Chains A and B, each alone.
Chain A
Amino acid sequence: MESSSALVVGSDEEARVALSRQLDGAGFSTMTAASGEQALEIIDKTGITLVLCDWSMTGMSGSEFCARLRSSSKERYVYFIFFGGSSDTSAQQALEAGADDFISKTVANEELGVRLQSATRIIELQDKLAARNDFLEYAYASVTTDLKIAAKVQEDLLPRQFRLAGLDTNWVFKPANFVAGDMFDYFPMGDDYFVFYILDVEGHGIASALTSFAINNQLNPSSHGICAKSVKHNDELSDAVTSTVNNLNLQFEGNLNSSRYFTMVFGIVEVSTGNVTLTQAGHPAPIHLQKASGQAISLGDGGMPVGLIKDASYSSVNCSLKSGDRLYLYSDGMIECENVHGEFYGSERLLNRIQEWRDLPIEELGDLFDGEITHWNGSETFDDDVSMVILEYTGKR
């Protein structure tokens, strides 16, 4: 067993030999080194984990040897005992130099035995700790790999940017931790309608992301989601949007784990007219940028989140998009993004920026807002998911 090997280091041969005999007697297989340099070589070669070093050594001093050993990165912890010297000062100096223990030159066998026992115990503990660390590192790496794959899956669920029937689109998506509780989508429904939504599941990270996947699946047009049914069964668009959100609320209230809920904006554009009907369920207010006037207007006065209150009722808001008008949807992670001084990005700054960039092509806006919020945040690591969807009404099929 390697932990019962020891290395005795010292330039004084007599002292070195005497101590190594004692160690042999205590059941250790002992090696010796006449200098710090030689000792470092032996430790490198053998991986020995118990070193006893003469405090007063000629050549490389004991404390220098100890410092060099400590500064080199060893796979296993090396337990270091100084021997020799006599005063309390040298004991203190020895510990300060990085040693674990200090014994006098003429230590009794019994005392040495006890000290070595404690050394062995600590070496074993250090080994266990190192093994646990290795395991955690491995587990962390494997979780990270999984999360990266999950992030890719989520990214693949996001809609394509740019031109769709009657609308141009762009977006920003910055998950706080690989996967996001934020999600959005838009798609044409039949020839006449264009459906869009953005949602934010409470919290962020894996649990929120799984919930957002589940909701997304409910709304997915290819799985005959509930929005398709709502549009089919309601003559009025306002009824279609509110009943979609109502249905989601009924479905998720009580079904989501504990207090988990989500906020969303769900809306439908009538492609021929540009008329928009949307429901704002606890989600930050969408912003309508009017091309002609350059004005940016917040829509809606809020609404209850989804999945929180059983008998929540939802209402709708209308707006009319003219050619070139834009609609901005975004999550609270955007306006509550804090800079290094703890200052929120805020809705006013967002409104101003939206107006300021009104003449820039929509193709550039995704990258611009991405850069803007990352710059505000000060790094690529966000505290909350950030998402933004930009729709521009072209009126052209």
Chain B
Amino acid sequence: MSFETEIKDGIAVVSVTAGRLDANIAPDLKMAVAEIIDGGTSRIMLDLQSVQFMDSSGLGAVISSFKLTGQKGDFVICNMNEAVREIFTLTHMDRLFEIYPSTDEGLQKMCA
């Protein structure tokens, strides 16, 4: 499995366990998030700690997952490495998402 999901304080923390978030697993991410939302949890935190590389398909999957939740603040990202952050900066997607350095910090903000 490329993902692990854990519900914490009503928030689904989706950890990408694969090192590359690319075209090979992008469709699975969208499906995993869709299932979580169908299951009744609409607030999601995407943990990218293990992700060393993200390509355009990976980014596309993150954005469409975000679109599924509907609004800013309900889909946050944490633990981005430098390479992934560069993609978010280049595409200005860092302006679209709330991004936190750790899951703890993200959860704190989401629960506040």
Contact = CB atoms under 8 A, between A and B. Distances in A.
Contact of B91 (A259, A260, A305): A305
Contact of B90 (A200, A260, A284): A284
B69 interface: no
A303 B89 CA distance: 8
A202 interface: yes
A259 B93 contact: no
Contacts of A259: 26, 30, 57, 60-61, 63-64
B91 A302 contact: yes
Interface string B35-70: 000000000000000000001110111011000000
A202 B91 contact: no
B28 to A, nearest CB: 13
Nearest to A280: B90
Contact of B56 (A203, A285, A304): A203
Interface string A232-260: 00000000000000000000000000111
Give the interface size class of chain A.
20 to 34
The main secondary structure of chain B at its interface with chain A is helix
Contacts of A336: 55
Given A259-B30, A384-B55, A202 B60 contact: yes
Interface string A284-324: 11000000000000000111110011000000000000000
Given A202-B60, A259-B64, A308-B63, 4 more contacts: A203-B57, A258-B30, A282-B91, A304-B92
9 contacts: A282-B90, A285-B90, A302-B89, A302-B90, A304-B92, A305-B56, A305-B91, A308-B60, A384-B55
B19 to A, nearest CB: 11
B23 interface: yes
A332 interface: yes
Interface of B: 23, 26, 30, 55-57, 59-61, 63-64, 89-93, 96
B92 A302 contact: yes
Nearest to B94: A302
Contacts, number: 49
Interface of A: 200, 202-203, 258-261, 263, 282, 284-285, 301-305, 308-309, 332, 336, 384
A204 to B, nearest CB: 8
A314 B22 CA distance: 26
Nearest to A303: B92
Given A203-B23, A308-B63, A332 B56 contact: yes
A156 to B, nearest CB: 26
Nearest to A283: B90
A282 B92 CA distance: 7
A336 B23 CA distance: 14
B96 A260 contact: no
Contacts of B26: 259
B91 A263 contact: yes
A304 B30 contact: no
A332 B23 CA distance: 15
Contacts of A202: 56-57, 59-60
A330 to B, nearest CB: 13
A189 B71 CA distance: 42
Contacts of A203: 23, 56-57
Contact of A263 (B56, B63, B89, B96): B56
B112 to A, nearest CB: 26
A260 B60 contact: yes
A202 B27 CA distance: 13
A200 B60 CA distance: 13
